[in-house]
């Protein structure tokens, strides 16, 4: 009798009938290749096996990259849908005060930010009744505040969209919510010739929600729509 164990007939017939079952199973193929190498001995270098290992490693990296690209595409699609929904909600109101209140309410909820404030440079009295009524979403500041805030006081041109992580929010912008915020997106607003600039500030408690490495195209689009909506109200 031979000391070599024989394969069961049913298993052998199944493998012959469906060889792809083995070829498509990575763990099983690794075991077969390892067994083949052991039968060749230690003095033989299997170049084909080495090449297969390298190709397998490259395939794994490609699959990881593929998954990352797909995940990024889904994130971009979700972000686009989110901004579009926020814009549609922002364009619904037919009264200015409702328009502003929605910014800190449903629009902020759709964008998943913890605080949203509109900052307007103005010479108007902060005790004005309209400003007092809208204090939960509207902040007023002196001329030049927006530029200094966006550039951290540096002599540089501010970007339309500024994303950054912060130790805490600025109370002049976010009021009582400032202490809980750890990142922000600041959108510089141009309301047209002869008007002072403004800023739309989105604050998040998550320090990773906004960072300089992220893209700004969607927020720039949102800022452009908001500017045009504001010009309509200010005209």
DSSP notation for 87-118:
HHHHT--SSHHHHHHHIIIIIHHHHT-SEEEE
pLDDT, residue 186, reads 96
**pLDDT tens per residue, the chain (235 residues)?**
444 456 677 777 777 787 777 767 777 777 777 766 666 655 555 666 667 777 777 777 877 777 777 766 667 777 788 899 999 999 888 888 888 888 889 999 999 999 999 998 876 555 655 556 666 888 888 899 999 999 987 888 889 999 999 999 999 999 889 999 999 999 999 988 888 899 999 999 999 999 998 888 999 999 999 999 988 887 7
CA gap 177, 225 in Å, rounded = 26
pLDDT, residue 1, reads 42
> What domains lie within the chain, and their CATH numbers?
9-60 (no CATH), 81-234 (3.30.450.40)
- Backbone angle region of 197, left / alpha / beta, with phi > 0 → left and psi within -120 to 50 → alpha: beta
The tokens of 178 are what?
Answer: 């400032």
Q: Where are the alpha helices (DSSP H) in 103-216?
A: 108-111, 129-133, 145-151, 171-174
Say if CB 130 and CB 118 are below 8 A apart. no
pLDDT, residue 127, reads 60
Say if CB 86 and CB 222 are below 8 A apart. yes
pLDDT, residue 49, reads 65
The tokens of 214 are what?
Answer: 């992220």
Model confidence, pTM: 0.67
């Amino acid at each position: 009798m031979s000391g070599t164990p024989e394969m069961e007939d049913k298993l052998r017939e199944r493998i012959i009938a469906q060889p792809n079952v083995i070829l498509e199973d990575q763990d099983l193929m690794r075991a077969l290749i390892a067994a083949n190498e052991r039968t060749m001995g230690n003095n033989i270098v299997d170049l084909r096996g080495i090449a297969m290992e390298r190709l397998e490693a490259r395939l794994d990296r490609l699959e990881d990259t593929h998954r990352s690209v797909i995940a990024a595409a889904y994130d971009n699609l979700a972000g686009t849908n989110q901004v579009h929904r926020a814009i549609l909600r922002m364009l619904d109101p037919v009264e200015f005060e409702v328009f502003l209140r929605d910014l800190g309410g449903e629009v902020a909820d759709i964008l998943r930010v913890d605080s949203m404030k509109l900052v307007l440079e103005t010479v108007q009295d902060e005790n004005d009744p309209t400003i007092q009524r809208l204090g939960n979403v509207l902040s007023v500041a002196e001329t030049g505040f927006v530029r200094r805030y966006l550039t951290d006081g540096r002599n540089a041109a501010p970007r339309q969209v500024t994303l950054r992580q912060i130790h805490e929010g600025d109370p002049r912008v976010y009021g009582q919510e400032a202490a809980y915020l750890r990142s922000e997106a600041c959108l510089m607003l141009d309301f047209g010739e002869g008007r002072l600039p403004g800023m739309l500030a989105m604050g998040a408690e998550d320090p990773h929600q906004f960072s300089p490495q992220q893209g700004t195209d969607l927020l720039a689009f949102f800022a452009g729509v908001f500017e045009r909506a504001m010009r309509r109200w200010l005209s």
